[in-house]
Structure 1
Amino acid sequence: MKRRQLLTLLALTGTAGCGTSPEPPAAAPAPSPAQRLGSALATTAPSPSLSPGPTATPTASATGKPGVMLGSYLALGGKTLRQSLALRREQLGRDQRIVHRFYPWDGYVPTAEPDVAGHSMLMVSWHGAPWAGILDGGSDAGIRSVARKLRDMDRPILLRWGWEMNGDWFPWSGAANGQDPAGYVRVWRRLHRIFAEQDAGNVSWIWSPNWNSSPDVSWNQMQRYYPGDDYVDWVGVSGYNFYGESPATLFGPVTRRYGARKPIILSETAAVSGKAGYIRKLHTWVEDNPAVGAVVWFDTDIQEGTDHDFRFDTDASALAAYRAMARDPHFNG
């Protein structure tokens, strides 16, 4: 694989893990808002093309080390992606370093993302599927097709396949596939091999469990789904402040377990109340945990199936807190 095109990102693998003490367990496991994201998110026709931006290049923070990449999944009511990106640029005084998109397992996958600037990193969450239909080879042609499409985008891509597998809300979860996490590992490695055969060297792989497991039993612990260091470039985690959970509660365990081996990406996070306080805590926690290389906010007010508004600009104090984080040199990766 030619993932060394992402030298800046992979250089973060040498950073130290978290030293934060664990906090008491928070609320029972809950699926992230993204569980309801269907193929409709990927079937919308792209907007007219933007001029390509410069190639993604490394940016050092004030410490001289690679800064943290800050981005979001953007779906704002009444706005196209391009309009949403423009609004956030105006509010924050900067572009999204990561733009997060969701693609269906067997539906429309675009051949380009013209609204995502060339200096932004494209992060793709690719839906999974029941494992049997992948392990028997029946999906190989579709996997090859997606691998070629992502390869031919000719830009660095962060690929998060089959996320939150340790929950019980997706058809690709362990709970829905015989309670056998080893099967997930076999599926992951099959996908990884097929992408390598298609020379999709611009793709880096994010393995991304939920912050806590449902059911919370021995066979379903997140580490049982880990495909192995040779098959993972980033370790991600979904964690939301639904019930007052702190960043240390949501992200500390994953960071302590994997942060010395892989860069950590907070692949989905947001708050539903007390947003300013949560954002300030997140800002500080990320600065205190150098294993974290990226933060991706789930920035939407139109999430199907919930009345929650995850936007960070719902009040002036939350917007100010997020703007302060976005403008901190530590987050200029």
Structure 2
Amino acid sequence: MFRLPTATVEPSPKPTYRPLPLATDDGTDHLLRHPEESQTRSPRGCTVGSRLVPTCGILWGVAPGARTESRGVRALADFERKTGRRQAIFHGYHRGIRQMFPTEQEIAIAREPGRKRILLLNWKPETTTWAAIARGDRRTDDFLDRMAAHLRENFRDRFFFAVHHEAEDQVRERPGSGYTARDYAAMFRHVVKRLRAKGATNVVTVLVHMAYVPHTTRSWFRHMYPGDDVVDWIGFDTYSYSEPGYGHGDFAELLNRRSASKPGWPGFYNWVRKRHPSKPLMIAEWGVWFSKRNPDHMAEFYREVGEQIEDFPGIKAMVHFETPANHKRQDSRVDSTPDALREYRRLGRLPVFQVSVGG
């Protein structure tokens, strides 16, 4: 989950955050919108392909009860009850090399009769450095081999797999640190290639960034990319703040957040669409941090998502991060106000978010 670093960041400037026209090989400008990418309305019959990319529309999902003990089946049931619809994606988190996943509970969530879902599972190795994993750390490789066997035997459904999401704030660009941007890319490659070599062919990989301007504008940021052959989707985590200052704005600001100190940065959505135009994009975590001092922002933001989503045809999945207030007073519950819940329910009913994942 994205946490705003302690360093001071200037409030986002006022300029337009809409997608920038992107130059094509023939010299024309467009938004890289393919004919099948219209987000205005989705015809009935939207499904997913082999890489879980929707044939039309946008996958709708949640990380329910995040950072609480109730996360899982109960939190998911509560979220679906209050929002009035099934979630196409269930987002779960894993650390270390002890527990195999998907767990029995996650498999049950994915295969619930009449309510099938796609799993999005995050994994942070936390065993040794990125560089050591890339070189073939024995303990990590043993875990990956057992994981591949677990998938072959117990779960052959395709699912989203994110390797060490939000890694930017752990980059240490010092020779030999083991945590350089290139070390991350090499680690990601090794993990994916090892799993595939051991028969885990149902893994659909997601590279998940923080989309935090002071990181994305660093010279090393582009070196984090592991390569098209091991990255199926590109994801990013981004939140709207209800009070004026950093991160306060509409949906377009959320996707193309900028900083006054980095005037040349076009925003994450614009940047990734220009640099990786063929990759489907996922908002792997999103939400609105509620504030009692500006309680109307949450409902207003949900309305803006519905109004502006058609401007961002690269977005193929949106996964809400649902959590109650924590020590930083960050509360993203969609029912923080009655108006917010009503607008979120209305948003989830839009045709563009009706993609069938089976069952």
User: Shorter chain as normaliser: what TM range?
Assistant: 0.7 to 0.9
Displacement after TM superposition at 1:146 (Å):
2.5
Contact kept? 1:71, 1:297, Cα under 8 Å: yes
Contact kept? 1:211, 1:250, Cα under 8 Å: no
Matches within 5 A, 1:262-281: 262-273=279-290, 274-281=297-304
TM-score, normalised to structure 1's length? Answer: 0.73
Matches within 5 A, 1:1-333: 20-21=19-20, 61-62=42-43, 66-75=56-65, 79=70, 81-110=72-101, 111-112=103-104, 113-118=106-111, 119-129=116-126, 130-138=129-137, 139-151=140-152, 152-166=154-168, 168=169, 170=170, 173-174=171-172, 177=177, 180-215=180-215, 218-221=218-221, 223-242=222-241, 243-252=247-256, 253-259=267-273, 260-273=277-290, 274-301=297-324, 303=326, 305-333=327-355
Q: Secondary structure at the match of 1:189?
A: helix
Displacement after TM superposition at 1:292 (Å):
0.7
Amino acid at match of 1:308: Q
1:326, 1:175 → 2: CA distance? 42
TM-score, normalised to structure 2's length? Answer: 0.68
Q: Secondary structure at the match of 1:91?
A: helix
Contact kept? 1:123, 1:160, Cα under 8 Å: yes
1:133, 1:179 → 2: CA distance? 10
1:82, 1:179 → 2: CA distance? 35
| Structure 2 match to 1:7 | none
Displacement after TM superposition at 1:73 (Å):
0.4
Q: Secondary structure at the match of 1:241?
A: strand
For the aligned residue pairs, the C-alpha RMSD in angstroms reads: 2.7
Displacement after TM superposition at 1:127 (Å):
1.1
Q: Secondary structure at the match of 1:270?
A: strand
Q: Secondary structure at the match of 1:107?
A: coil
Deviations 1:234-259 (A, max 9, x none): 11001111341433233233333334
Amino acid at match of 1:62: P
Q: Secondary structure at the match of 2:240?
A: coil
Displacement after TM superposition at 1:294 (Å):
0.4
Amino acid at match of 2:196: A
| Structure 2 match to 1:42 | none
Displacement after TM superposition at 1:174 (Å):
4.3
Paired residues, number: 273
Using a 3 Å threshold, how does the CA distance of structure 1 residues 231 and 299 change in structure 2: closer, same or farther? Answer: same
Q: Secondary structure at the match of 1:229?
A: coil
Using a 3 Å threshold, how does the CA distance of structure 1 residues 308 and 184 change in structure 2: closer, same or farther? Answer: same
Deviations 1:258-304 (A, max 9, x none): 3431110000111113211222222333232121110000011165x
Deviations 1:78-111 (A, max 9, x none): 7463232222332333211000000112232344
Using a 3 Å threshold, how does the CA distance of structure 1 residues 208 and 174 change in structure 2: closer, same or farther? Answer: farther
| Greater alpha carbon shift after TM alignment, 130-139 vs 144-153 | 144-153
Contact kept? 1:181, 1:219, Cα under 8 Å: no
Question: Computing the radius of gyration over CA atoms, which structure comes out larger, 1 or 2?
Answer: 2
Amino acid at match of 2:65: A
Contact kept? 1:88, 1:95, Cα under 8 Å: no
Contact kept? 1:103, 1:109, Cα under 8 Å: no
Displacement after TM superposition at 1:208 (Å):
1.0
